[in-house]
Each structure stands twice: as structure tokens, then as C-alpha cells.
């Protein structure tokens, strides 16, 4: 057989990998925007993609088509489906009748993920299965391993290109380029004139789409904001900012979430939050606002020395019109608010947290013991940390009660002096040093404070505080909210889901109470041992995707924004996969056992567990973790493929088992275990699921060796 090095036969597979990662990342980012950044949607979307890939790989391996026609057909389908999938995501809100800024329920998010991601994922899965057989027909050595690493190498190139050029091309242009690359690969791999003409025609069409990407981008962006006129859009490494106008009002959206409006739309609860925050602080002169752009104009109008507004995305800062000059000086800082607090430096008299409540990991990190403790160190004596939480003046929803109790317990741990003012919005105050002033003292302070708030008077403030005292309750025993054990995240997710679908909230609550070990017991009972190659591929795919999801969540906890890290993390994961597959396929070290790599995989998962249990890892270590996980996955898959007969013909089912394990892990870890049980327990579950396959190889002899 021919050597499997860098030969022309591998180029179409590398091109397919490039096209796949660009299309996948663009679709993931688009779904994040449509679903307003909730991490559950990432798990659902990846599960849809991987399940589709498993189905496509298995179907292609069972197809009666010859590799000469099946592989180019799969490439053509990848090129044909990518752009319509993106347009389908864009049109989802319009088709579902959702308003601009309206949240997407978990059920609709799962439907969107299945409809948009599964078909393109199926085409990508069929590309690998067909490509392995195509290489085998051309007598390339180790066709399954060669196809695996060549495609992974294309993934790396595509991930790097997308990360570096994400702001240069609109999403439609990027996906059109990906489709163009896949169509060109199909043209090179297809020997028949008729199909070559069809591929060439598709290339011509896509070449016309790329320059038209700008106008098409603006038109389809309007589908996300029905009833509004899109004024402008901007893409950054942190997300997508859209300015849309309707009914004489202009609204700024960031990743689909409304963050500011002009004319100002300050609510009475916003005014109360500002008033209580300033009145509970001693001589407030320096105020820090984290997020909450809608509060900025009112704060600027108060008798303050300075207002520091911290927002990570400079594009968003630019899109929010600078308030007219007020009595306070304004300083904007384009950095992540959590990192700004932890960096130390200037101390403030009041820190107002305008970040939404804990329905995502990126928001939860502002409601943890670690953050509150760091914020206390940035306060002057008598300074305050201020939160606004969902509340109610009448009957209180049990999900709001659970969320409020967790955050209150967390604040009690970080601040010896704290208070809760209940109402339609529960306002939590943590004070550094002396106790929070009583209601009467707050009203007396308001007379001399000279607050400039349109609807808030001394009488209305007294009434609001009287209501708060009437609603005062002792919160039930609640868990503390930590970065790596986000107890408030499940409560926030349940509240978010209960607003959209109470049935979904009840189902999620029941599933979240099942300890990860029970899922492992169920997996261990599957009778894989008779088909241990596929079973091991399944466990490897599950462990690798589980660890990759945990790396993404770790990045989000440490860095604050998943949007910018998707392509980079995927690129490093696939770089490791390519390296591992290449080394395993071309190793000259003698006899290499599957059990050795399986044991190394188990050890790595265990190390990941220990590190995340014993210490807080830096952001870059999660990127390195993606690469190490990829190396082990690529090595094990290649050895599994080589351990059986007919490597090219059996690669499809093996790849399908790998992807199916990944799909289940994306759902289990990304959408359930991590929110409910935290990083350490989830990492322990991943380590355990990899241990399931180890005994299957320990009980066999030399027949399991790859030579």
C-alpha cells in the first residue's frame, strides 16, 4: 500500500475538515445569538451535530455506493447544506413568531439545534466514512487513521482562520467560503464529468454569494428582529452587536440580548436600585457599574465624582450612545468585569452589578463567593455592593425563592453586613464595615442626597421600603454559590425555563437531581464487550467531548465569554487529534497496545478531576487541556481502527460510535451535569466513563496489538 504521508489523496479530506469547522463554529455562534448566549444551547447544538454525524457516518458505511461516487457526493452535500442551515437559524425567530429580545425555550432550542445542525453534521460524518473508503481504494496505508488526521489538520487550519478572520467577513460570507472549499474538494475528488459540472456550478454560485454577503447579511439579520429596522451591526471577538429601531425607539442588542435603549427606558425598579445603592453607601463619590448599560444615563445625572463603566466588548461600548454630559465624570473600561475586580487597584464607594441573573455560567460568575469576596476588597469603608434580583410583591414563585435564597446565603458568607429589600425586584446590599442603614435612615438620607430620578420621591421610597419590610422572610437553607460548584445556576436555569415552559422546568429539575454516577451505572450495563472496538470508541468519544465541554465551561468561568473561544478551543482540540492520529498511524516504536492509550486516557481524565477539585486553574490551562484530550482521542481512535480487519470499510461504524458517545456527552455534561453538579463532579463522571472500557482490553492478549 502507498505511504499515507502528505499525498494528493489527503487534500480533499483536509479541505473537508476546514469547511466543517468553519460551518460548525459559525452555526454555533449564530445559535448562541438567537438563544441569547445560554450555554445549554451549545450542548444541545453540539449534540445535534454529533448525532447527525454518527447517523451520516453509519449510513455512508452501509451505502451500496462505490467510494468513487460516495465521497464526492458527501462533500457536495456539505457544501450544499451549510449556507441554508445558517439562513434557517436566522429565520427561526421569524418563523416561530418570537419578538426581538424574546428568549427561546429549551424545547425550541433543541428543535433548532436538531433542524439546523444535524443535517450538516450528517454530511460531515458521511465525508469521513466515505473518505476512509476512498483512501482505501487508492491503496493509502492506514486509510482510517490517515483520513482522521488529515481531516483534523483541516480543522486546525479552519479554526485558526476563523479565529483570526471572524471580524473580517460576515457570517454568511464565512459560511459561503467554507461551502466553496467543500465544493472545490468535491470537484477534485469526482472523476465523472456530469458531477464535476454540478460541483463547478455550485462553485460559481458561491463565488457570487461571497461579495453579496454584506447586503444579504443585513437583510437576513432583520429576520432576528421582526418588526424592527436594523440600523447597523458589528461583529467582535466577544459577540455580535446590533442596533435596531422600532416605534421611535432605538435598542442595542448584544448576542440577542437587549442591553440599552434610547430614549432611555429607566423603570421604577431601576430607579430604586440606583437610589438604594447610593443611599446605603457613605458619601458615594466613586461608583463602578458592571454591565447594566441602561443604568448609565441616570447614574451620570447624580451628584457623583465619577462613574466607571466596565464592559468587555469595545464594539458594544461604542454602540451605546454616550450619555449627555451630566454631573458625574464618565470613564469606560473595555475589559471583563470579573477580571477588572480581581485585578485590584482603585477602591469604590458603590459597585452596582447590572449583569443579568444566573441563567448562564458567564453571568453566574458575578454571583459567587469568589466574586463577592474580591468585590469587597475593592470597596471603601462603608462602601456597598448592589444586586437586583427577580422578586415579587405578591405570591412568590418557588424558583425565585430558591434563586434568591442561594444568592442571599452567598452574600452572607462574603459580607458580614448585608441586607435584602424585597419587592418586584429584590435588591441585595452588601456593605463593607458598618451595618446597612435601616429603612428610616435611608429615607432621611434621601432628603439631603438630591437624587435626580424622575419617578422616585421621598414618599415613594418610604412606601417601597415599607413593602420590603412586609415581605421580609427568613430564606430557607441554601447552598453557597461557587465558581466550580454553581449552586445558583440550576436555580437560575429553572427560573428561566419556568417562564418559558413549566413542563420543561419540571423535567430539568428531576433530571438534575440524578447523580452522575447513576448515568455511569446505566452506561456500564450496555453490553458493549462483544463489540468492544465500537464500545471503546463510544467511551472515548464520550470522555473526549465531556472533557472538551468542561474545558469550554472552565474557559467561560475564568475568561468570561465563550463566544470568542469556540473556534480557538476547537482548533486546539483538533490539532491534538491530528497529532495523535498521525503519531499512532505512523509510529515506528514497535508494538502499541490499545490498552496503553486507554489507560493514559483514564489517567488524564483523573488528573483533570484532581486539578479542578484541588485548585483553580488558569484560563490557558483549559486551552492546553483541549489539546491533550484531542491527542488521546486521535491516538485511541486510530489504534482501534487498525486493530480490526478492513480498516477502510469498518471506519464508518467506528466513527459513528465515537460521535454518538460525543453527542450523549454534549447533552449530559453540557446541559445537565455541569450546571447541576459543577466541574469536579462532572470531571469525575468523565473519568469513570472512560474506565468502563479498560477491563475489556486488559482481559485480552496480543491480538489487540496494533503493529
- DSSP code, position 140: B
Q: Which of 406, 563, 390 is nearest to 25 (CA)?
A: 563
Read off the CATH number of the domain in which 318 is found.
3.40.50.150
Quote the pLDDT of residue 322. 65
Residue with cell 435584602: 420
Q: Is residue 658 part of a domain?
A: no
Distance, in Å, from the CA atom of 126 to the CA atom of 55, rounded to the nearest integer, reads 8
What is the domain range of residue 350?
264-490
Please return the burial class of 485, using the count of CB atoms within 10 Å of its CB with bins 0-12, 13-18 and 19+: middle
Structurally, the chain folds into a number of domains equal to: 1
User: Tens digit of pLDDT for each residue in 106-138?
Assistant: 888 888 888 999 999 999 999 988 888 888 888
Select the more confidently predicted residue: 213 or 70: 70
Q: What is the pLDDT of residue 67?
A: 57
> What is the model's pLDDT at position 680?
78
Mean pLDDT: which of 363-377, 389-403, 611-625 is highest? 363-377
Pairwise CA distance, residues 411 & 166, whole Å: 39
**pTM for the structure as a whole:** 0.85
Closest residue by Cα to residue 264 from 295, 236, 240: 295
Cell numbers at residue 539, please? 467511551
pLDDT at 635 over 70: yes
Residue 314, domain member (yes or no): yes
pLDDT above 70 for 706 = no
Q: What is the pLDDT of residue 589?
A: 42
pLDDT band at residue 473 under the 50/70/90 scheme = low
Question: Does 439 reside within a domain?
Answer: yes
Residue 149 inside a domain? The answer is: no
Q: What pLDDT is stored for residue 5 in this prediction?
A: 46
In a domain, 443, yes or no: yes
Q: Which has the minimum average pLDDT: 43-47, 308-312, 318-322, 336-340?
A: 318-322
388 located within any domain = yes
Helices of type H across 392-486: 398-414, 439-449, 458-470
pLDDT tens, position by position, 377-414: 999 999 999 999 998 877 778 888 889 999 999 999 99
Tens of pLDDT, residue by residue over 25-59, are 889 888 888 887 676 788 888 889 999 999 998 88
pLDDT digits (tens, 9 = 90+) for 354-368: 988 888 888 888 999
Any domain includes 281: yes
Work out the average pLDDT over 97-110. Answer: 81
Between strands 239-246 and 249-254, the pairing is antiparallel
Among 464, 460, 461, CA closest to 426: 464
pLDDT at 472 over 90: no
Percent of the chain with pLDDT strictly greater than 70: 87
pLDDT band at 265 (very low <50, low <70, confident <90, very high): low
Task: List, in sequence order, every residue forming a beta bridge with 235; answer none if it has no partner.
Answer: 240
Does 164 have pLDDT greater than 80? no
- Provide the β-strand partners of residue 706: 592
- Answer yes or no: is 57 within a domain: no
**Residue 349 banded pLDDT, cuts 50, 70, 90:** very high
Q: pLDDT at position 65, please?
A: 61
Q: Is the pLDDT of residue 159 over 60?
A: yes
- Note the pLDDT tens digit of each residue in 401-457: 889 999 999 999 999 999 999 888 999 999 998 899 998 899 888 887 788 888 888
Is the model more confident about 25 or about 675? 25
| Strongest mean pLDDT among 35-44, 214-223, 277-286 | 277-286
Q: Which of 329, 321, 268 is nearest to 302 (CA)?
A: 329
Amino acid at each position: 500500500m502507498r505511504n499515507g504521508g502528505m499525498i494528493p489523496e489527503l487534500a480533499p479530506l483536509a479541505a473537508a475538515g476546514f469547511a466543517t469547522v468553519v460551518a460548525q463554529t459559525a452555526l454555533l455562534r449564530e445559535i448562541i445569538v438567537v438563544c441569547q448566549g445560554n450555554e445549554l444551547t451549545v450542548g444541545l447544538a453540539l449534540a445535534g451535530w454529533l448525532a447527525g454525524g454518527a447517523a451520516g457516518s453509519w449510513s455512508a458505511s452501509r451505502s451500496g455506493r462505490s467510494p468513487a461516487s460516495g465521497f464526492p457526493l458527501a462533500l457536495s452535500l456539505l457544501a450544499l447544506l451549510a449556507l441554508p442551515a445558517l439562513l434557517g437559524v436566522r429565520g427561526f425567530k421569524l418563523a416561530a413568531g418570537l419578538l426581538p429580545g424574546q428568549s427561546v425555550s429549551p424545547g425550541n432550542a433543541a428543535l433548532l439545534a436538531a433542524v439546523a445542525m444535524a443535517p450538516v453534521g450528517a454530511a460531515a460524518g458521511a465525508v469521513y466514512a466515505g473518505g476512509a473508503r476512498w483512501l482505501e481504494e487508492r491503496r493509502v496505508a492506514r486509510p482510517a487513521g490517515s483520513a482522521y488526521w488529515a481531516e483534523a489538520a483541516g480543522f486546525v487550519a479552519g479554526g485558526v482562520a476563523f479565529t483570526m478572520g471572524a471580524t473580517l467577513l460576515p457570517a454568511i460570507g464565512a459560511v459561503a467560503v467554507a461551502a466553496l472549499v467543500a465544493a472545490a474538494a468535491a470537484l477534485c475528488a469526482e472523476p465523472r464529468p456530469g458531477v464535476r459540472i454540478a460541483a463547478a456550478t455550485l462553485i460559481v454560485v458561491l463565488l457570487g454569494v461571497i461579495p453579496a454577503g454584506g447586503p444579504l447579511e443585513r437583510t437576513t439579520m432583520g429576520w432576528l428582529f421582526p418588526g424592527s429596522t436594523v440600523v447597523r451591526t458589528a461583529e467582535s471577538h466577544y459577540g455580535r452587536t446590533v442596533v435596531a429601531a422600532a416605534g421611535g425607539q432605538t435598542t442595542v442588542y448584544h448576542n440577542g440580548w437587549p442591553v440599552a435603549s434610547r430614549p432611555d427606558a429607566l423603570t421604577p425598579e431601576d430607579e430604586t436600585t440606583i437610589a438604594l445603592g447610593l443611599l446605603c453607601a457613605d458619601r458615594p463619590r466613586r461608583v463602578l457599574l458592571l454591565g447594566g448599560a441602561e443604568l448609565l444615563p441616570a447614574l451620570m445625572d447624580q451628584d457623583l465624582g465619577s462613574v466607571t463603566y466596565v464592559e468587555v466588548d469595545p464594539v458594544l461600548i461604542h454602540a451605546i450612545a454616550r450619555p449627555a454630559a451630566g454631573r458625574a465624570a464618565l470613564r469606560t473600561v473595555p475589559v471583563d468585569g470579573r477580571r477588572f475586580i480581581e485585578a485590584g487597584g482603585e477602591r469604590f464607594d458603590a459597585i452596582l452589578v447590572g449583569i443579568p441573573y444566573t441563567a448562564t455560567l458567564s453571568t453566574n460568575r458575578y454571583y459567587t463567593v469568589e466574586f463577592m469576596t474580591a468585590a469587597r476588597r475593592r470597596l471603601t469603608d462603608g462602601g456597598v455592593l448592589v444586586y437586583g434580583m427577580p422578586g415579587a410583591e405578591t405570591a412568590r414563585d418557588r424558583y425565585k425563592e430558591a434563586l434568591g435564597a442561594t444568592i442571599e446565603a452567598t452574600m452572607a458568607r462574603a459580607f458580614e453586613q448585608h441586607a435584602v429589600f424585597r419587592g418586584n425586584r429584590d435588591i441585595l446590599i452588601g456593605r463593607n464595615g458598618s451595618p446597612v442603614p435601616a429603612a428610616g435612615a435611608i429615607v432621611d438620607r434621601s432628603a439631603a442626597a438630591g437624587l435626580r430620578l424622575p419617578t422616585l420621591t421621598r414618599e415613594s421610597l418610604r412606601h417601597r421600603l415599607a413593602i420590603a419590610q412586609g415581605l421580609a422572610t427568613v430564606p430557607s437553607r441554601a447552598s453557597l454559590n461557587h465558581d466550580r460548584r454553581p449552586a445558583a445556576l440550576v436555580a437560575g436555569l429553572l427560573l428561566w425555563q419556568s417562564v418559558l415552559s413549566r413542563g420543561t422546568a419540571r423535567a430539568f429539575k428531576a433530571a438534575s437531581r440524578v447523580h452522575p454516577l447513576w448515568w455511569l451505572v446505566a452506561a456500564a450495563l450496555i453490553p458493549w464487550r462483544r463489540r468492544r472496538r465500537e464500545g471503546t470508541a463510544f467511551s472515548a468519544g464520550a470522555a473526549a467531548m465531556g472533557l472538551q465541554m468542561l474545558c469550554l465551561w472552565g474557559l467561560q468561568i475564568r475568561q468570561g465569554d465563550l463566544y470568542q473561544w469556540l473556534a480557538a478551543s476547537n482548533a486546539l482540540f483538533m490539532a491534538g487529534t491530528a497529532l495523535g492520529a498521525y503519531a499512532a498511524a505512523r509510529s515506528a516504536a514497535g508494538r502499541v497496545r490499545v490498552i496503553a492509550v486507554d489507560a493514559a486516557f483514564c489517567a488524564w481524565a483523573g488528573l483533570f478531576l484532581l486539578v479542578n477539585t484541588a485548585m483553580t486553574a488558569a484560563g490557558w490551562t483549559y486551552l492546553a487541556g483541549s489539546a491533550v484530550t484531542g491527542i488521546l482521542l486521535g491516538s485511541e481512535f486510530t489504534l482501534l481502527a487498525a486493530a480490526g480487519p478492513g480498516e477502510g470499510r469498518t471506519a464508518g461504524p467506528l466513527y459513528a460510535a465515537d460521535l454518538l458517545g460525543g453527542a450523549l456527552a454534549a447533552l449530559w455534561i453540557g446541559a445537565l451535569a455541569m450546571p447541576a453538579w459543577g466541574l469536579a463532579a462532572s470531571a469525575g463522571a468523565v473519568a469513570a466513563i472512560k474506565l468502563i472500557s479498560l477491563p475489556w482490553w486488559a482481559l485480552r492478549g496480543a491480538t489487540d496489538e496494533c503493529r
